[in-house]
Chain A
Amino acid sequence: MTIQSQEMLLNMGPQHPSTHGVIRFVVKTDGEVMSEAMPDVGYLHRSIEKIGEICDYNGFMPYTDRADYLSAMNANQGYAMVVEKLLGLEVPRRAEFLRVIAAEFNRIISHLLSVGALAMDVGAATPFIHALKEREKVNDLMEALCGQRLTYNYVRIGGVSYDMPPNFSERCLDFLDRFEPQWDEFERLVSANKIFIERLSKVGTISREDAIAYNLVGPNLRASGVDYDLRRDIPYSIYPELDFKVIVGHGEQGEVGDSFDRYIVRVREIRESIKILRQCFSRIPEGDILAKMPKVLKPPVGEAYVRTESSRGDMGYYLISDGSAKAFRLRIRTGSFTGMAIIQKISQGMMIADLVTLIASLDVVAPEIDR
């Protein structure tokens, strides 16, 4: 008697606890070891780019929140910057500081969620809750600033919508003082855990060449050893004045570019964001928060492309104006899409449990993939 064997086709998603949103993978597996995981995108497509051609310029701002709802401030900022570039608008300095404060807070909570979810996906539920607890506190601060907790819609073309409420900077600095020891504790609980390190080191290693060839951006690119950060290399807003370090993966628990490097880069970027925030609060000038603007925005005919360093890396807005009140074409370029693309190559010959680690460590977020 011969025993027949065949590869098992496992459908992972779109509803699955560890794909973080509606992402689907078709996994070809032989028991625990899989030969390939094919990503399937498009479950969260909301035609945001097309909506950008239907709305007027100010009206599109809330939609940018939804383009990446875990890092809405960064998405806001990119869109405002591209329209300002077309208009040739000068943004008040205080507004620039407020934008950076909001964006860095948003980077902190986005990384918190990413790191917490990664810990959850390797089986530790407690770090996730601890990370979310801190995230809630930042959400409270953001609520005080702009009235929203997730989709902020804070940045306006030409500035920001609200000034800081009274005592805001004291509250924020107080939070940062409390947050830093909490974050040390988190690192003691997770980063030094032997099982956690074993689960992450040498898993899903992305080489420097692959990372560049597949156009990875942001923390994923830096984890592969490429020293590249838009905030420093193509500076925008007030980032040139601020002092911060670009974190690069060194492969301290295995190889350069493995899941642990991607994890540790995010953990350390949170500390850099804290540094940036402290500088911002000490230097923020008085002044207007919104530039003088016409009621209906009609940018001159032309095109512009703006790149910003979002939580998930290089977020680009490409805008063509035909001189009317609505954009002729809007295109958003996001980091998660390329992160999703590399999974098929890296996942060959992996174990099923490692696929989950890889997805979580790449921090792919469903709304950003599809838009």
Chain B
Amino acid sequence: MLIIVLKIIIPFLVIMQLLPLLIWLERKGAAYIQDRRGPNRAAILGVRLGGVVHSLADVVKLIFKEDIFPTNANKFIYTIAPFIAMAVACVTFAVIPWASPLEWKGSAFSLQAVDLNVGILYIFAIGSMGVYGIMLAGWGSNNKYSLLGGLRASAQMISYELTLSLSVVGVLIFAGSLELNTIVQNQGSNLLSWNVIRQPLGCLLFVVSAFAETNRLPFDLPEAEAELVAGYHVEYSSLKFALFFMAEYANMIVASALIATLFFGGWQVPFVSTETLRTYAQPIAYYSVLGLGLFSVAAGWFLVRRKHKVVYHDARDYETKVLGFPALLVGLALIAGQILYGPLPLGETGSQVAAAAFQFGAFLAKILFFCWVFIWVRWTLPRFRYDQLMKLGWRVMLPLALLNVVVTAGIYLWF
């Protein structure tokens, strides 16, 4: 029972912890793309962490804003819409595998909230619920701009869902299963057997449709700032707006996780199979902790040695010291511990857990990379027009996806 609860809570917590990090990444990424510095002012007792604390300040701001109900809005629909948007984004995570299943007393213990044998179908079923949140928000706030945004969202998401689903069919043919864990295991740890190599067109179509599904630029028509002001969430304020805001990033994480799982080997560490990881868990853990210690020492040394600059005349001036000394000490402690006690014996379960932790790290790195791609594209490209979007979806992407299915099936049957 406890394990089930933990399995549900941990993925949820991971998303919730990734959200402020992503918002920070978006702001900082946008800033560096645009030749700016980005957020660097908000501080707690002088600690700014390069702007990460700004996300916290945002949360506080959004909580304390007035929660406005438009006079003519449908109260029920208006209230429920942001909850649908956020809930759908989080629930999708249930079936995504975080690491290879552990073998414990002869039974497999999968590291995902629910090990559904129709995982992909579940994701598409829940994912298509996401449009309700946006559509109801557009309809319920009784604003013409919101309405247009909601209309655009429903048309766009339904159109691109077809391509999204069809582009995965090739992957399913190779894996022979709808289970996400099987799909990942089928890809293996060899880079050349990942689905991005086996299904390049499918991967491209999936990534583009994922952009459209998450309403990110160049497909952010539902909230098109230039023409629809803010689109479907123009009337929302306070925490309801925060939910929409977080749902966008949660959707981004889900889309990134799906891209990584389906086409980039999921939790597979490149070129290192699960068996290898488990066999050599002890030295790998030893050297990675040692490396972590060395990195921490280097970072701490770099921060501590930085010239003390008096800029703000408050606690912020001591930030480098405040961050640098603990990092230095933690790093030294890690190194000393590793050297003094040597490689600790991990045992059967321990090596499995260490391998899983390593795979989880690889998966997280992949997710963050694709999130960065989302951000990168957003700050580079202009937006499509509504008719161009539909033309791309129905006349280009859908035929290509069908072609991909036919060709993949043909090749699979032939060989």
- Using CB atoms and an 8 Å cutoff, list the residues of chain A in contact with chain B: 8, 10-11, 16-18, 31-32, 119-126, 129-130, 133, 189, 193, 195-196, 198-199, 351-356
Contacts and interface: CB of A to CB of B under 8 A. Distances in A.
A17 B225 contact: yes
Dominant secondary structure of chain A at its interface with chain B: helix
B388 interface: yes
Given A195-B381, A352-B227, A123 B388 contact: no
B413 interface: no
B383 interface: yes
A351 B34 contact: no
A124 B227 contact: no
B382 A353 contact: no
Contacts of B217: 123
Nearest to A189: B380
Contacts, number: 84
Contact of B385 (A8, A124, A130, A351): A351
Tell me which of B35, B217, B224 has the highest count of chain A C-beta atoms within 10 A of its own C-beta: B224
A129 B226 contact: no
Contacts of A129: 34-36
A356 B386 CA distance: 13
Given A125-B379, A126-B380, A354-B385, 17 more contacts: A10-B145, A17-B225, A122-B382, A122-B383, A123-B224, A124-B381, A124-B382, A125-B34, A126-B34, A129-B34, A195-B381, A199-B384, A351-B387, A352-B228, A353-B385, A353-B386, A355-B227
B229 interface: yes
A352 B383 CA distance: 13
B407 interface: no
A18 B383 CA distance: 14
Given A10-B144, A17-B226, A130 B34 contact: yes
A32 B386 contact: yes
Contacts of A121: 226
A199 B381 contact: no
B377 to A, nearest CB: 11
A119 B382 contact: yes
B151 interface: yes
Interface in B380-405: 380-388
B33 interface: yes
B220 interface: yes
Contacts of A199: 382-385, 388
A129 B32 CA distance: 11
Contacts of A130: 34-35
Contact of B379 (A8, A32, A126): A126
B224 A353 contact: yes
Interface residues of B, number: 29
A126 B377 CA distance: 11
A120 B217 CA distance: 12
Contacts of B30: 125-126
25 contacts: A17-B225, A18-B226, A119-B382, A120-B226, A121-B226, A122-B382, A122-B383, A123-B217, A123-B225, A124-B380, A125-B30, A125-B34, A126-B379, A126-B380, A130-B34, A130-B35, A133-B35, A193-B382, A198-B385, A351-B385, A352-B148, A353-B224, A353-B227, A353-B385, A355-B227
A193 B229 contact: no
A123 B226 contact: yes
Nearest to A125: B379
B218 interface: yes
Contacts of B148: 10, 31-32, 352
A16 B220 CA distance: 18
B279 to A, nearest CB: 48
B227 A18 contact: yes
Nearest to A10: B144
Interface string B144-159: 1100100110000000
A195 B218 contact: yes
Interface in B358-391: 379-388
Given A31-B151, A124-B382, A356 B226 contact: yes
B197 to A, nearest CB: 26
A32 B390 CA distance: 12
A199 B152 CA distance: 17
A119 to B, nearest CB: 7
Interface in B227-260: 227-229
Contacts of A352: 148, 227-228
A130 B36 CA distance: 10
A354 B385 CA distance: 8
Contacts of A125: 30, 34, 379
Given A16-B229, A351-B386, A353-B224, A123 B381 contact: yes
Contacts of B388: 198-199
A132 to B, nearest CB: 9
B34 A123 contact: no
5 closest residue pairs by CB, A with B: A123-B383, A129-B34, A124-B382, A123-B382, A122-B382
A163 B218 CA distance: 48
A128 B211 CA distance: 23
A8 B226 contact: no
Tell me which of B148, B217, B228, B385 has the highest count of chain A C-beta atoms within 10 A of its own C-beta: B385
A342 B252 CA distance: 42
Given A10-B144, A123-B218, A193 B385 contact: no
Contacts of A351: 385-387
A129 B382 CA distance: 14
Contacts of B218: 123, 195
Contacts of B151: 31-32
A354 B37 CA distance: 33
B396 to A, nearest CB: 13
Tell me which of A17, A119, A354 has the highest count of chain B C-beta atoms within 10 A of its own C-beta: A17
A333 B227 CA distance: 30
Given A8-B144, A198-B388, A351-B386, A193 B381 contact: yes
A158 B384 CA distance: 51
Contacts of B152: 32
B391 to A, nearest CB: 10
A352 B387 CA distance: 11
Given A10-B144, A199-B385, A351-B385, A17 B229 contact: yes
